[in-house]
Amino acid sequence: MPQNTQRMPQTHPNPASVFDQGALAECIDACFECANVCSSCADACLGEREHLMHLVHCIRLNLDCADVCGATGRVLSRLTQPDLNVLRAQLQACLAACKACGDECERHAREMNMTHCGVCAESCRRCEQACGQLLGSMSAEG
Amino acid sequence: MPQNTQRMPQTHPNPASVFDQGALAECIDACFECANVCSSCADACLGEREHLMHLVHCIRLNLDCADVCGATGRVLSRLTQPDLNVLRAQLQACLAACKACGDECERHAREMNMTHCGVCAESCRRCEQACGQLLGSMSAEG
Amino acid sequence: MPQNTQRMPQTHPNPASVFDQGALAECIDACFECANVCSSCADACLGEREHLMHLVHCIRLNLDCADVCGATGRVLSRLTQPDLNVLRAQLQACLAACKACGDECERHAREMNMTHCGVCAESCRRCEQACGQLLGSMSAEG
Amino acid sequence: MPQNTQRMPQTHPNPASVFDQGALAECIDACFECANVCSSCADACLGEREHLMHLVHCIRLNLDCADVCGATGRVLSRLTQPDLNVLRAQLQACLAACKACGDECERHAREMNMTHCGVCAESCRRCEQACGQLLGSMSAEG
C-alpha cells in the first residue's frame, strides 16, 4: 500500500471503526489495487490484437470489477458514521465482481499464457479474500 | 433521461439482455440521476454553514450513495456478456445505499426543511425502487 | 437533463456562482450525458465482433472521455467555494477529450455506419461546445 | 506502489509509450495515491466536529482533487493508442487540482495542526510534481 494511504486512517479524528483495523486496511488496499489492475488489464487485453476476439468477456468483467472495487474502496475508507448495511452489501458485490473477473483472468493466464491476466487474477483473488474476511468479521460481531 | 443516453441501448450490436428493456432503462437512468443528485446534495449540505454539524451523517451517506450508484449505472449499461451474480449483488448494494441515504435525507427535509435533501430523497427512493424491480424480474427468471 | 438533477442547483444555500447559470446547467448535463454515452459506446464497440479490430482506438478514447467527463461533471456540480484555476483546467481537459473521441466516433459513424458511434459523436460535440462556452464566459470575466 | 500495479505496464502487449517509463510509473502511482488520500482527508475533515466550519473549503478541494486525480490515473495507465492532447490537458488539470488542494491542506496542517491535512498535502505535492515532470518530458519531445 502506498505509505500515505496507510497513514490516513491513523490520523482520523474518529479512528474507532466497526472493523478490525488490520483487516480493514488490507481490504481498502486490495480494493484500490484491484480497481487499478483491472483497468490496466482491460487496456492490455485491448492491445492484444491477435487474441482480441477471445478477450471480449474478460474486458467486460475487468471494467465492471474496476468500477465495483473503486466504489468499495472509497466507501470503506470513509470512517465517519458508517452504515453497516451499505458496507456489508457493497462488500458482497465486490466479492462477486472479483470472483467473476478472477475466474476469467485465471483461465486466460493458463490457457492463453496472458501475463497481464495472470497478475490481474492475483489481485482479484486477494481482493475477493479480503472482502470475505471483512464480511466474516462483521457477522461475527452480530 | 438525456435523449442520447436513452438511444444507446437500441444501437448496441447485442441488444438482447437478461433484463426487461424498460425496467433496465429506468434503472440505469435512476442510478445516474441518483449519483449526480447525491454528489450535489453533499455539496449543498457542505454549504449549510448554520446546520453543518447536523448534516455530517447525511454528507457521508451522500458520498457513499454517489459512488455506489455511479458504479451500478456503469455496470448495468454494459450489455456485452454480463455476469448475473455481479449484477444481482451490485443491485442489492445500490438498493441498500439508496435506502440509507433516502432515509437520512427524508428526515432532514422533514425536520430541518432542507430542500436539497428533499429532492435527493426523491431520487434515492426512485433508484431504490428501480433496483428492487430489476432484482425482482431477475429472480422471477430463475 | 433528468428533472431532479436540474432542480439541485436551485436548492443550494450558495447558488451564486462564477458562471452564468444556464451555461453551467447545460455543461453539467452535457458532461454527465457524455460520460454515460461514452461508457456505453465502449461496450457497444466491444460487442461488434466483426469490426472489433478497427474499433480499438475508439474504445480507448471512449474510456478516457468517460473518465474525464465524469470528473468534470462532478467538479462543476459543486457550487461551494470553487477554485477557478481547477475549473478552467478541467474544462480544457474535457474539451480535449470530447474533441478526440468525437472525431474518432464521427469517422466510424460515417465510414463504417456504426450507429452507436454516431450517437456518441453527437454527445461529444455537445459537451465539447458546452465546455468551450463555459470557458469563454470565464475569460470574459477576467 | 502496490506491487501488482507496478507489474502491469511490463505485461502490456504495447509497452512502448510516449513517456519515459519511470516518470510514467511514478505519476500513475502518485495520482492514485492522491485520489485515495484526498477522499480520506475529506472524510477525516468531516469528522473534525469542532473545526468543521473552517474545513469547508478543504473538503470541497479534497473531493475535486480526488475526482481529477482518479480520472488522470486511469487515463495515464492506458497504454493502447493514447492521444497526446488529452494526456497533456488532463495532466495540467491534475497539476492545478493538486496545487489548490495542497495549498489549502498545507495551511490547515500548519495553522490548525491537522495531521490528515499534512499527509494529504504531501500526497498533493508529490502528484503535482510528478504531473509537472511528465508534462516537461512531453514538451521536450515536441
pLDDT per residue as tens digits for the range D68-99? 999 999 999 999 999 999 999 999 999 999 99
d(CA D79, CA D86): 13
- For a pLDDT cut of 90, what percent of chain B falls above it? 82
Q: State the pLDDT at residue D142.
A: 47
| Measured distance CA(D80)–CA(D16) in Å, rounded | 9
Q: Which three cell numbers stand for residue A1?
A: 500500500
Q: What is the residue-averaged pLDDT of chain B?
A: 93
Angle D127-D132-D133 from CA coordinates, rounded to 5°: 100
pLDDT digits (tens, 9 = 90+) for D15-62: 767 788 899 999 999 999 999 999 999 999 999 989 999 999 999 999
- Say if CB C58 and CB C44 are below 8 A apart: no
| Residues of B within an 8 Å Cβ radius of D | 42-43, 46-47, 49, 52-53, 56, 59-60, 63
In whole angstroms, give the CA distance from residue A98 to residue B78. 17
Cell readout for B43 is: 455539496
Q: CB A5 to CB D33 under 8 A?
A: yes
For chain C, what percent of residues have pLDDT higher than 70?
Answer: 96
Q: What chain D residue is nearest to C89 in terms of C-alpha separation?
A: D93
Q: How far apart are CA C35 and CA C120, in angstroms?
A: 10
Q: Is the pLDDT of residue B132 over 60?
A: yes
Query: Whole-model pTM?
Result: 0.96
Domains of chain D (ranges plus CATH)? Answer: 20-141 (1.20.1270.360)
CA-based nearest distance A61→chain B, Å: 8
pLDDT 10s digits, C45-80: 999 989 999 999 999 999 999 999 999 999 999 999
Write out the DSSP string of D65-133. Answer: HHHHHHHHHHHHT--SS--HHHHHHHHHHHHHHHHHHHHHHHHHHHHS--HHHHHHHHHHHHHHHHHHH
Test mutation, A17, A55, A90, A124, chain B, max B CBs within 10 A: A90
Q: Alpha-carbon torsion B92, B96, B98, B103, what sign?
A: positive
- Interhelix angle for B84-111 vs B56-76, to 10°? 150
Give tens-digit pLDDT for C48-57: 989 999 999 9
Is the pLDDT at B1 greater than 60? The verdict is: no
Could you read off the pLDDT of A16-68 as tens digits, one per residue? 677 888 999 999 999 999 999 999 999 999 999 899 999 999 999 999 999 99
| Residues across chain B | 142
Residue D1 CA to its chain's centroid (Å): 13
Q: What is the mean pLDDT of residues C95-116?
A: 96
